Amino acid sequence: MRLSEVAGKIGGRLEGDGSVDIRGVAGISEAGEGEVSFIANPHYTDEAAMTKASAVIVSENWNSACSAALIRTKNPDEAFTKAAGLFYTPPARPAKGIHPSALVAADAEIGENVSIGMLCIIESGAEIGAGTVILPQCYIGRKAVLGEDCWLYPQVSLREGVRIGKRAIVHNGTVIGSDGFGYTVDAQGGRTKIPQLGIVEIGDDVEIGANVTIDRARFGRTLIGNGVKIDNLVQIAHNVVIGDHAVIIAQSAIAGSTHIGRKVIIAGQAGIAGHLHVGDGAVIGAKAAVTKDVEPGVYVIGVPALPAAKFKRAQAGLMLLPKFKERVAELEARIRKLEENR
Amino acid sequence: MRLSEVAGKIGGRLEGDGSVDIRGVAGISEAGEGEVSFIANPHYTDEAAMTKASAVIVSENWNSACSAALIRTKNPDEAFTKAAGLFYTPPARPAKGIHPSALVAADAEIGENVSIGMLCIIESGAEIGAGTVILPQCYIGRKAVLGEDCWLYPQVSLREGVRIGKRAIVHNGTVIGSDGFGYTVDAQGGRTKIPQLGIVEIGDDVEIGANVTIDRARFGRTLIGNGVKIDNLVQIAHNVVIGDHAVIIAQSAIAGSTHIGRKVIIAGQAGIAGHLHVGDGAVIGAKAAVTKDVEPGVYVIGVPALPAAKFKRAQAGLMLLPKFKERVAELEARIRKLEENR
Amino acid sequence: MRLSEVAGKIGGRLEGDGSVDIRGVAGISEAGEGEVSFIANPHYTDEAAMTKASAVIVSENWNSACSAALIRTKNPDEAFTKAAGLFYTPPARPAKGIHPSALVAADAEIGENVSIGMLCIIESGAEIGAGTVILPQCYIGRKAVLGEDCWLYPQVSLREGVRIGKRAIVHNGTVIGSDGFGYTVDAQGGRTKIPQLGIVEIGDDVEIGANVTIDRARFGRTLIGNGVKIDNLVQIAHNVVIGDHAVIIAQSAIAGSTHIGRKVIIAGQAGIAGHLHVGDGAVIGAKAAVTKDVEPGVYVIGVPALPAAKFKRAQAGLMLLPKFKERVAELEARIRKLEENR
C-alpha cells in the first residue's frame, strides 16, 4: 500500500513522499524501510530524529527533528492503531463446530456457529451463546453461561454457575468462580470452611487477562460490569462489585465485598481492602494500599493510600529531613550561645 | 422453611413474625423478601435500617434501627453460615470411578470410592486416597500421594513426589511441586541451575486457592502444616515451612527457607524475605515487607515491616512534617530577633 | 558412597572420619546420620553446633562449633550442589515420540528425539526442536517455535507465533504470548481493543517459573534475552525487552515497553513502570516501585524507588522523627524563656 493511501485511510495529513510502498508498522526504534511508526509519548522524541521508519505518525503541532516522512493527526496513538489494522491479519477463526476430542454434555445448550476446540470440556446444563469461540483445553462447569461472540483462549476454567455476557475475551489460564476465601475460627484456631454459595456474573464487552482469579460470592454474586478490562494475574475476591468501564492493571487485588465505581482505574500491584467503596472515576495509583473509602474522581497513591497531593507533600518532607535536621542542630547551637550570653 | 424454624436451627432468639416463609440467604443490601441476612461488621449498620431482607441476624446487644425481624445470637457470622447451610445444596459429587477419557497409569494406586474426572492424568506410582475427587484435566505426577477425601478442582498440577494429607481442597490452576528458584553464578554472570531434589509435603485439612504456586524443596521438603489456608495467587518458595493453622491471603509471597509459625496470619500482598523465622501467632499486615525475624504474637506492618505501633507513630510523624516545618521556621525567626536584640 | 569419596568428588578438604557411609544430602537442621549438609549463610551457624548430619560442607576459614565432620571448600554452596548431584537421580526422561492421545497438526515440524506427552496439542505450523520434551496437557499455538532440548512442564500455553530458543525450561501453568493490555478510550469512557500484532521472542538457556504471564507485543516483539531466569507468578507486559542473564524474582511486574539491561536483578514483588530503561547490572530491591530510569549498576529500593543509600537515610530520618519532635519542643521552651527574660 502506498504511503499516501495509508495517510488517507487513517485521516492524517502527509508531509513527504506519498509514493513509498508500505508493508507494515513497528515501534519507533525497531521500524525499518517500508514501515510506519508513531510518536505519542514525548519520551521517544529523540528516537524520531534517527528512526529508520519510512513515515512517522505525529501530533498536529509536532516540531522536532524526524528522519522520516510525517503523518500529522490529532491522536497519533489512535491513528497508529488504525494503521496497524490495515496490515494485520487477525488469527484465523477456528472451524465452526465441536472438535471430536471435546467432551460436551448431552444437555449443554450450544448456540449457532460456535467453535469448541480440542479437549474442551462442557459440563451438564452449560449454555454457549451463538458465535462464541472456545479454544482448546478449556473447562466450562455445570450451568455456566457464556454469551454470544465470546472468545476463550486455551486452558480457561469457568466454575459451575458462572455467567458471562456478550463479546467477552478471556485469556489463558484464568479461573472464574473459584471459592471465596472464608472460614469461621474456633477457640483452638481451627478453621471451618464457609460454603461459597454464590456465583460470578460478568457483563458485556469485558476482557480478562491471563492467569487471573475471580472468586464466586459467599452468597449472591461477585459482579463485573460492562466494558471492564482486567489485566494479567489480578485477584478479585468474593462479593466484589466492579462498575462499568473500570480498568484493573496487572497483579492488583480487590478484597472481599468492596465496591469499585464506574470508570475507576486501578494501576498495577495495587491492593484494596475489603468492605470499601471506591467512587466513580477514582484512580488508584500503582502499588497503592487502599484502606479507606475513596471519593469519586480522587487520585490516591501510597501505603496507606492518600490523595496524591498529600502523599507527595509527605514524601517531599521525608526527602528534606536530613537538611531539616541540620537546621534544628543549628538552632540548638544558636540558642545555646544566647543562653550563655544572658 | 418458616423463620421461627430457621432461628431455632441456628440457635438464635427471634424478635418478629416467625411465620414468614424463608427460601434463602443474601447480603444485607442485596437481600429481598423471603431471605435472611446478617450484620457482623458495624460498617453495615446503616444498611440494616433499610434492608429488604425478611430477617437479619445480629449480635445480642444490637440496638440500631432495622427494617426486618431480628435473630439475636452471640456470633452472627457463624450463625449466618449455619443459616446458609440450611438452603445450600452442595455441588453434586461426581460419579465414582475413573472417567474413560482419563489416563491412569497401570501401577497407580487408586483407593475406594475415588472419582477421577475427564481428561485427568495420573502418572506411574501415584497414590490416590479413598473418597478423593479429582475433577477434569488435573495432572498428578509420578509417585505423588493424595490422602483420603481430598477434592481437586480442574487443571490442578501436582509434580512428581508431592505428598498431600487428608481432606485437602485445591482450586483450579494451582501448581504444587514446581522447581525452586536456585542457581549458582559463574564469573561471567551465567547461571547454572541447582537441581531441586526435594518435595512438597502438605498436612491434613489444608485448602489452597486458585493459581497458587508452591515450589518443591532444593533438598528435603517444603512443608505445609495441618489446617493451613492459602488464598489465590500466593507464592511459596522452596524449603519454606508453614506451621499448623496459618492463613495466607491472596498474592502474598514467602521466600526460600523461611519458617512461618503456627496460627500466623499473613495478609494480602505481603512479602517475607528468605531464611527468616516468623513466630507463632504473629500477624503480617497487608503489603508488609518482612525483612527480619518476627517475634511470636507481634503484629507488623510497613515496608520494611515494623511493629504496628512503631510504624503508625512514624507514619503519623510523616503526616505532621509540614506543620512541624512551620514550627522550625517560626523558631528561626524568633531566634533571629533575639540575636538582633542582644 | 564413603564420605572421603564425597569430599574428593566435590573438591573439598575432609576433617573427620572418611569411612562413614553417605546416602544423601539435606538441610542443616533436617539432616541425619548418613547425610551431608552445608553452611553457606552465617544465619545457620548455631544449627551447625548440633546438626545430626554426618558431615557439613563449610568455608575454608570456618571456625565455629560443629557436631559433624567438616568438608572445607572455597564455595560451600557450589560444593553442596555438586554433592547433591552425586545422589540425585533426575526425573526419568519420558519416552521419545508422540503419545497417541496428543493431537499434533499434520503440518507441524517435529524434530528428532522429541517427546510429546499425553493430551498435548500442537497446532498447525508449529516447530519443535530436536530433543525437546513437552510434558502432558501443554498447548503449542500455530507457528510457535520451540528450539532444541527444551523442557515444558504440564499445562504450559504458548500462543501463536511465540519463538523460544534452545534449552528453555518452562514450568506448569505459564502463559507465553497472551495479548498485551492496550485500548483506545472514547469520549464516553468506552474502550476499543488495540490489536496485539506482535510476538514473544525468547533466547537460549532461559528458565521460566510456574503461572508466569508474558504478553505478546503490540507490534514487533516482546524480547527475553539469553540466560534470563524468571521466577513464579511474574508479569511481563507487551514490548518489554529483557537483557541477557537478567533475573526476575517471584510476583514482580514489568510494564509495557520498558527495557531491562543485561544482568539486572529484580527482587520479589517489585514493579517497574512502563517506557523506562533500567541499566545493565542494576539491582531493583524487593517491593520497589521503579518510576524513573535506573542508571547501570545502581541499587534502588523503596516506593517510589530511590538509590538505596538515599532511601535508607530517609527511612532512618523517619524513625528519628519522634525524638526530633522532642528536640524542637525543647527548643521552643528554651526560646520562650529567653524571650520572657529579655
Q: Most B CBs within 10 Å: which of C287, C331, C341, as the mutation test of the B interface?
A: C287
Q: Tens digit of pLDDT for each residue in A18-57?
A: 999 998 888 887 788 999 999 988 778 888 888 999 999 9
Distances (CA, A) of C12 to B192, C1, C31, C49, C73: 20, 15, 19, 20, 5
pLDDT band at B181 (very low <50, low <70, confident <90, very high): very high
pLDDT band at C337 (very low <50, low <70, confident <90, very high): confident
For residue B317, what pLDDT is reported?
Answer: 79
Crossing angle of the two packed helices B308-341 and C308-341, in degrees rounded to 10: 50
Across C273-289, average pLDDT? 97
Across B265-272, average pLDDT? 98
For residue A125, what pLDDT is reported?
Answer: 96
Distances (CA, A) of C24 to B86, B163, C5: 54, 20, 13
pLDDT at A320 over 90: no
pLDDT at A242 over 80: yes
pLDDT at B92 over 80: no
Whole-number Å distance between alpha carbons of A77 and C203: 30
* C238 flagged as catalytic: yes
Q: Tens digit of pLDDT for each residue in C65-102?
A: 888 999 999 999 889 988 988 887 667 789 999 999 99
The CA distance from B225 to the nearest CA of chain A, in Å, is 12
The CA distance from A103 to the nearest CA of chain C, in Å, is 13
For residue C277, what pLDDT is reported?
Answer: 97
Whole-number Å distance between alpha carbons of C201 and C93: 26
Q: Which residue of B has its CA nearest to C78?
A: B184
Grid cell digits, residue B336: 533571629
Across B129-149, average pLDDT? 98
pLDDT at B154 over 80: yes
Whole-number Å distance between alpha carbons of B221 and A254: 32
Supply the mean pLDDT for chain B: 93
- Chain C interface includes A232 (CB < 8 A): yes
Supply the mean pLDDT for chain A: 93
Interface of C with B in 116-175 (CB under 8 A): 118-119, 136-137, 153-155, 169, 171-173
For residue B340, what pLDDT is reported?
Answer: 84
pLDDT at C160 over 90: yes
Whole-number Å distance between alpha carbons of B175 and B158: 6
pLDDT at C219 over 80: yes
For residue B43, what pLDDT is reported?
Answer: 76
Nearest to B2 by CA among B71, B48, B77: B71
- Chain A interface includes B52 (CB < 8 A): no
Q: Which residue of A has its CA nearest to B206?
A: A191
pLDDT at B163 over 90: yes
Across B297-324, average pLDDT? 87
For residue B294, what pLDDT is reported?
Answer: 98
Across B277-302, average pLDDT? 97
For residue B99, what pLDDT is reported?
Answer: 98
- Chain B interface includes C77 (CB < 8 A): yes
Kindly list the structural domains of chain B, giving each domain's residue range(s) and its CATH number in brackets, ordered by start: 3-87 (3.40.1390.10), 97-306 (2.160.10.10)
- Chain A interface includes C331 (CB < 8 A): yes
For residue C45, what pLDDT is reported?
Answer: 83
Please tell me chain C's helix, strand, coil percentages from 3-state DSSP, rounded to the nearest 5.
20, 30, 55
Q: Tens digit of pLDDT for each residue in A136-179?
A: 999 999 999 999 999 999 999 999 999 999 999 999 999 999 99
Whole-number Å distance between alpha carbons of B145 and B110: 10
For residue B41, what pLDDT is reported?
Answer: 80
On the CB side of C158, CA atoms within 13 Å amount to 34
For residue B113, what pLDDT is reported?
Answer: 98
Nearest to C184 by CA among C141, C218, C212: C218
- Chain B interface includes C322 (CB < 8 A): yes
Determine how many CB atoms are found less than 10 A away from the CB of residue B36.
31
Grid cell digits, residue A58: 505525529
pLDDT at B3 over 80: yes
Whole-number Å distance between alpha carbons of C278 and A241: 37
Catalytic position from the list B43, B99, B171, B238? B238
Phi–psi pair at C12, nearest 5 degrees = -110, 165
Q: Which residue has the cell 525567626?
A: B333
Q: Which of A183-197, A278-292, C97-111 has the lowest mean pLDDT?
A: A183-197
| Residue numbers in C near B190 (CB within 8 A) | 205, 227, 245
- Assess contact for A84 and C180: CB atoms under 8 A: no
pLDDT at A88 over 90: no
Q: Most A CBs within 10 Å: which of C186, C219, C269, as the mutation test of the A interface?
A: C219
Nearest to A16 by CA among A59, A66, A64: A66
Whole-number Å distance between alpha carbons of A38 and A77: 7
Whole-number Å distance between alpha carbons of A184 and A202: 28
The count of CB pairs under 8 A between chains A and C is 170
Q: Which chains, if any, share at least 3 CB pairs under 8 A with chain B? A: A, C
- Chain B interface includes C289 (CB < 8 A): no
For residue B313, what pLDDT is reported?
Answer: 84
For residue A266, what pLDDT is reported?
Answer: 98
Distances (CA, A) of B80 to B24, B71, B77, B109: 11, 10, 5, 41
Whole-number Å distance between alpha carbons of A342 and A55: 78
Across A91-102, average pLDDT? 92
For residue B32, what pLDDT is reported?
Answer: 85
Q: Kindly state the DSSP code that residue A43 receives in the 8-state scheme.
A: G
For residue A43, what pLDDT is reported?
Answer: 76
Q: Kindly state the DSSP code that residue B68 receives in the 8-state scheme.
A: S
Q: Which residue has the cell 466454575?
A: A159
For residue C320, what pLDDT is reported?
Answer: 77
pLDDT band at B45 (very low <50, low <70, confident <90, very high): confident
Across B263-285, average pLDDT? 97
**What is the sign, positive or negative, of the torsion defined by CA atoms of A305, C215, A58, A48?**
positive
Q: Which of B189, B190, B338 sits opposite C338 (nearest CB)?
A: B338
- Chain A interface includes C336 (CB < 8 A): no
